[in-house]
Structure 1
């Protein structure tokens, strides 16, 4: 190891070989840079030697995007500072932070309005004074894992429950700084650089320009985190959001904050029949505004929680769900005032009755403590599934949880739920289904008991990917593609478009060693390294 920034892998560092997907990789070295300059130093040392580089945050991902496939791990968790704040002409506040900033940390500092401003500019400090005088602000993306880094969330275009109203993290990113394969850097501000049709011209901070040919595919008209974001005349910043660490190393991120709603109420609505719950969701979408999130929990998920409450002291504070209840829909209302919230709550009850339910079968959380209790209920489901699979792995190490992350257009919701249910029953597989039903985005978790179940489950997952793609859906709606869904990306777009993605990647990564294995494996192996594919731009000194 030539640089003191690079450390050889050993047993004490083995945790960095895995993420929440439960996949375990391999690497020869690891680094923990604290600045963009250290990232540049590491890239300059490794890339010319052809050493694969996998970028990590806190490894909360579920698609194995942070799992190394040999070579080097660049872990950005120590790049966790806020560096600037500004406000725009519309009065929105923007915060610049390093990619390793943890979401829960960010939320805490925004809520407390307390920041380390020692290295902030005078202008940033002036903006902070305005921020402290303004109404309370928040950052809307809310994936299940509050320990996720913002860089990791950008890498997979994460979203979470509130994306139904506020969209994925893409909508809340206003600037990025990226280190490229040759040590050059890109600084991109939203609204500043656009493609001309399917051709994108970029200029590095060092004054060198290059041309990117964008793939020709059309993205599905649904919630989507599958492959590179591509549109005609697109904003350049969107190419890097959701790029899974395959185009460069994102080191700095500017996020946009929103005013916190005056009223935030959580409502859990229970139904005896799953079909009634589905009709309720469809009616909500058509007839009710101010719904920030809409979450689904099937009967198997509820039964898991009942079992955990009875057998595991850690889950003793879970609320009791009556045995007769088969499905739960959690919604969160974000309203300007209490009068509007009460009107919405009344309409929720009305729509429940029309759909075959009863407004009495609800839990309503009007304050933070009650809402936290309902959020604990929501988060307990995936945690319970992970615990169950971990126990079964002790008997049969080959098995893992098989969790889908697919979405379809609105008009296919009834069909896709019916397809999941009938095919699971046909194959005799245990499952638990939950997720963001407002976006027709359900996490179907197949829970194998043995290797036979696991093989059947993987085959079923592949069938679903084909069907979802035919319906105009996405094989990954929020977790990214990573390594686990690379085959499904080919099913979704076809090999010709995968080849186009590979050509795009080659522009940013001639050796094909950034994020190796994420999204796809290029068919063509590049063996000749070009020191710099860029040309000096005459407009920049």
Structure 2
């Protein structure tokens, strides 16, 4: 089959933006394509394999580990594969929607509302970056803050179609190939290109509330968090669905950029005396949520948080403002990295993505504070209360500080793994963390190698991500 005219283009100045992602890591490539169908993806892959040209898969470029940044070869950008392909309402009541990999989460949300507005369903995989694509989410197993209640993102992916390195199509259905499907999700595109994904939608909660508690002392915030984590927050028709932490430095970063962020401009300014905040979401019936909210207010007050200064909003539209504030943490951190790069171009995004299963929040936060106190590198800490899944963002300003920050991340990862934690959470490994985390994710590495040999023996797909190439 002949290649469609102009499907592959040489890299030039107009494609410079495709050499970088949110990690601020910059790469290089010889050519780029923007396929609009599975057939075109397969054509491109066949040609690349014939020429033994490595391929880097790109979606929304929202990743922060350099996974979508090319190291030579060809860029396969999936942003034009952004359609809904099919949907199904089962007799059991379950609803599925099949989409192309390049559809952004914000567009998926609109399509679900358009198609199933009366059914009131949604896809409960919600990373804070709404411009992230479904394919990117599947490739990294990203979940976002509400993973606390809804669990792993992979359980909401029922089927995938994948183009292998040679352009062959394979299909995996959870009902028939659950183990194989699970092994491919979170593999960071090492085996092939997802060309279609069938998503399982779930019923929307009757209502949603958002509450932000502020604390003047970090020790009281940490004790509150331990008490929060030590109890199951649900009753007959309501539950706590999200538990997030933002420290003083994170709040200050957001405050400095607040007027440039339309979604959070209306929110009150945060008092500079506060050492941090806890953001919670409740879902369910209003009456039952009111009971939970009253208990939460009481617990927060017992740990030094003034209920009169708490933010409390109800309804999807209002709660979106608080979600935007939480997303502003990541956005502000990325902008901070970009600013530091102007003086030191070698600097990239550096942050933790470790899961410390065994540590209480207060002990983990104390550990990080003691470690950060021994360095001059500036930082901001935010993330998920559950499982010690905090994102410690480091902001080195010089090349020497950058190297020190990389060493810190490796040391922390070693400590985490020694306590049976996980060195890789929801961000992936990509190119940036491959060296930092080398040897600390053996099970993941072995699985990647096994599937590479099966689907991409010539090591063409996302070369340099996660693994070192086998000679």
Alignment TM-score, normalising by the size of structure 2: 0.93
Inter-partner Cα distance in structure 2 for 1:313 and 1:416:
31
2:450 paired with 1:450:
no
Shift of 1:89: 4.6
What is the CA distance between 1:275 and its match in structure 2?
A: 2.3
| C-alpha contact (below 8 Å) 1:401/1:448 kept by paired residues | no
- CA distance, structure 2, for counterparts of residue 89 and residue 507 of structure 1: 37
Q: Contact 1:176–1:254 at 8 Å: present in 2 too?
A: yes
- Which of 8, 21, 32 does residue 19 from structure 1 map onto? 21
2:371 pairs, out of 423, 427, 431, with 423
* Alignment partner, residue 218 of structure 1: none
The alignment status of 1:185 with 2:169, answered yes or no, reads: yes
Structure 2 counterpart of 1:329? 278
Q: Cα offset for 1:307?
A: 3.5
Shift of 1:172: 0.6
After TM superposition, the structure 1 stretch with the greater mean CA deviation from structure 2, 348-357 or 238-247, is 348-357
The Cα shift of 1:442 comes to 0.9
Q: Contact between 1:319 and 1:377, CA under 8 Å: does it hold in 2?
A: no
Contact 1:489/1:519 (<8 A) preserved: no
Q: How do residues 25-424 of structure 1 correspond to structure 2 at under 5 angstroms? A: 25-113=27-115, 131=116, 133-134=118-119, 136-193=120-177, 235-287=179-231, 288-289=233-234, 290-309=239-258, 316-335=265-284, 337-424=285-372
Could you tell me the TM-score, scaled by structure 1's length?
Answer: 0.81
Seen in structure 2, the aligned counterparts of structure 1 residues 77 and 308 have a Cα distance that, compared at 3 Å, is closer
1:40-96 deviations in whole A, cap 9, x for unaligned?
111111112211011111211111111111111111111111111112353110001
Cα distance, 1:2–1:307 mapped onto 2, change above 3 Å:
closer
Distance 2:311 2:271 in 1: 12
| Alignment gaps of 5+ in structure 2 | none
Q: Indicate the SS of the match to 2:44.
A: helix
Deviations 1:462-502 (A, max 9, x none): 111111111212222111111112134433234x9735642
Distance in 1, matches of 2:160 and 2:202, equals 19
**Cα pair 1:490 1:498 within 8 Å, conserved:** no
The structure whose Rg is larger is: 1
- Three-state SS of the structure 1 residue aligned to 2:297 is helix
Q: 1:9 aligns with which of 11, 17, 33?
A: 11
Q: Distance in 1 between matches of 2:439 and 2:362?
A: 23
Conserved? CA contact 1:281–1:438, under 8 Å: no
Q: SS of the residue aligned with 1:159?
A: coil
Q: Is the 8 A contact 2:225 2:361 kept in 1?
A: no
Partner Cα distance (2:240, 2:430) in 1: 31
Residue of structure 1 in register with 2:463 after alignment: 516
Aligned-pair CA distance for 1:24: 1.0
CA distance in 1, matches of 2:310, 2:358: 25
The 2-side partners of 1:497 and 1:246 are apart by 12
**Deviation, structure 1 residue 318:** 4.4
Q: Is the 8 A contact 2:445 2:466 kept in 1?
A: no
Out of 418-427 and 359-368, give the one that drifted further.
Answer: 359-368
| Gap change, CA 1:480 and 1:304, over 3 Å in 2 | same
Taking a change above 3 Å as real, the CA distance of residues 191 and 45 of structure 1, as seen in their structure-2 partners, is same
My pick for the range that moved more, 384-393 or 99-108, is 384-393
Contact 2:33/2:75 (<8 A) preserved: yes
Q: Distance in 1 between matches of 2:396 and 2:290?
A: 44
Q: Taking structure 1 as reference, are residues 410 and 331 closer, same or farther at Cα in structure 2, changes over 3 Å only?
A: farther
Alpha-carbon RMSD across the aligned residues, in angstroms, is 2.1
Partner-residue secondary structure (3-state), 1:395: coil
Q: Partner of 2:159: helix, strand, or coil?
A: strand
| 1:201 aligned partner | none
Structure 1, unaligned stretches of length 5 or more? Answer: 114-130, 195-234, 526-541
Retained in 1: the 8 A contact 2:359–2:387? no
Q: CA deviation at 1:177?
A: 0.3
Is the CA contact 2:128–2:323 (under 8 Å) kept in the aligned structure 1? no
Displacement of 1:358 in angstroms is 3.5
After superposition, the Cα gap between the structure-2 partners of 1:352 and 1:150, relative to the gap in structure 1 and judged at 3 Å, is same
- Describe the shift of the 1:284–1:90 C-alpha distance in structure 2 as closer, same or farther (beyond 3 A): farther
Query: Once superposed, which parts of structure 1, at least 4 consecutive aligned residues long, lie more than 4 Å away?
Result: 311-316
